[in-house]
Amino acid sequence: MPLVPDPELQELRPCLIRLAYRMLGSVADAEDAVQDAYSRWLMVDRASVQEPTAFLRVIVTRICLNQLKSARRHRESYIGTWLPEPIFDPEDGNPADDITLPLMIALERLSPLERAAFLLHDVFGMDFPEVAEAIDRAPAACRQLASRARGHLRRERPRFIVSKEHGLKIAAAFFAASRSGDMSALRTLMAEDVTASADGGGKVPATLMPLVGIEAVLKRHSEMAAMFVRSPSRLLRYAVIDGLPGFLTVEPGEVLQVTALHIHDDRVLAIYVTRNPDKLKRVPS
């Protein structure tokens, strides 16, 4: 049975889950990390903790840093492209932060300490002395870690986030063109340097390497269009996924699939397809 801390700390749980998810890329691992932190809270001398919120953030960060070591080894042997577990933005369309799926993928290229320093300071607003306590480094070192992370991530930070309504309109047009085999319409929706990545995790069929360029992506969709004639793709709904517009479908072979589209200047710049069933256990009904 999950441990439930004081009510005021339970209200902090969504923020802690977000922090752990941004660190780990997995909702299940994030929930485990937060539960572990609450377990430690129940065993601590409360009188010695001046700021319970800061204490839990520190503990969650340290737990995630430890998990990242084993997670990185696992991802080195991962079959095909690894994508973060998709999460769905609130129904009001206002995500809790500006971390989108492309930035989540870029975070994977940072060292664990760079990732922690950037997230804690730039995303969750902790000052550098607090960050220093969380990752056991001097404040000046944390400042440098965050600065290096910003340099690596500068191109991935969203500058112009497409509105929810406009993004979902493009997603609907993309779904219609790709499933009907209208390659001309699909071409007009994509950027020339579009990329397409699919995560099947070795559990279901998926392209092992990302496709690069509009001709390669169109060729793959043309091949799939022939398959859709025999076994149509079933649309479940449109959604905002990790800050990106997209859709949920059931594909031939009864494979559940989440597709997210990175849109820039009204063109699809990147396509992210998650098919690994282990990552879709928490898809909203």
Dihedral, CA of residue 101, residue 102, residue 108 and residue 113, to nearest 10 = -90
Give the pLDDT confidence of 213-252 residue by residue, as tens digits. Answer: 999 999 999 999 988 989 999 999 999 999 999 999 999 9
Contact 199, 279 (CB under 8 A): yes
Q: Are residues 91 and 172 in the same domain?
A: no
Q: Are residues 170 and 124 in the same domain?
A: no
pLDDT computed for residue 90 by the predictor: 66
Structural domains of the chain, count: 2
* Amino acid type, 129: P
- Integer CA distances (angstroms), 102 to 99, 201, 252, in order: 8, 19, 27
Q: Are residues 139 and 195 in the same domain?
A: no
Dihedral sign for Cα atoms in the order 273, 118, 55, 71 = positive
pLDDT computed for residue 160 by the predictor: 57
Assigned domain for 45 exists:
yes
Q: Are residues 123 and 183 in the same domain?
A: no
Q: Are residues 133 and 253 in the same domain?
A: no
Question: Of residues 28 and 48, which shows the higher confidence score?
Answer: 28
Q: Are residues 120 and 211 in the same domain?
A: no
Lowest mean pLDDT among 1-15, 21-35, 94-108: 1-15
Give the pLDDT confidence of 184-214 residue by residue, as tens digits. Answer: 999 999 999 999 999 999 999 999 999 999 9
CA atoms lying within 13 Å on the CB side of residue 71: 20
Dihedral sign for Cα atoms in the order 52, 57, 60, 65 = negative
Contact 220, 207 (CB under 8 A): yes
Assigned domain for 208 exists:
yes
Most confident of 8-17, 167-176, 227-236: 167-176
Assigned domain for 159 exists:
no
CATH of the domain at 103: 1.20.140.160
Assigned domain for 268 exists:
yes
pLDDT computed for residue 54 by the predictor: 82
Chosen domain end from 153, 188, 209: 153
The pLDDT-based confidence of 1 (bands split at 50, 70, 90) is very low
pLDDT computed for residue 3 by the predictor: 55
Cα–Cα–Cα angle for 256, 261, 267, rounded to 5 degrees: 145
Contact 35, 16 (CB under 8 A): no
Q: Are residues 143 and 168 in the same domain?
A: no
Q: Are residues 146 and 262 in the same domain?
A: no
Average pLDDT, stretch 43-61? 82
Assigned domain for 185 exists:
yes
Average pLDDT, stretch 250-266? 94
- Residue 9 predicted with pLDDT over 90: no
- Residue 114 predicted with pLDDT over 90: yes
Q: What pTM, to 2 d.p., does this model score?
A: 0.88
Chosen domain end from 89, 121, 153: 153
CATH of the domain at 201: 3.10.450.50
Q: Are residues 264 and 209 in the same domain?
A: yes
Q: What does the block give as tokens for 169?
A: 């309109």
Chosen domain end from 153, 183, 206: 153
- Residue 278 predicted with pLDDT over 90: yes
Q: Are residues 121 and 177 in the same domain?
A: no
pLDDT computed for residue 91 by the predictor: 60
Residue numbers of the domain that contains 68: 7-153
Assigned domain for 158 exists:
no
- Residue 173 predicted with pLDDT over 80: yes
Neighbours of 4 (CB within 10 A): 11
- Residue 96 predicted with pLDDT over 70: no
Assigned domain for 124 exists:
yes
- Residue 164 predicted with pLDDT over 60: yes
Q: Are residues 98 and 182 in the same domain?
A: no
Q: Which residues pair with 88 in a beta bridge?
A: 241
The pLDDT-based confidence of 168 (bands split at 50, 70, 90) is very high
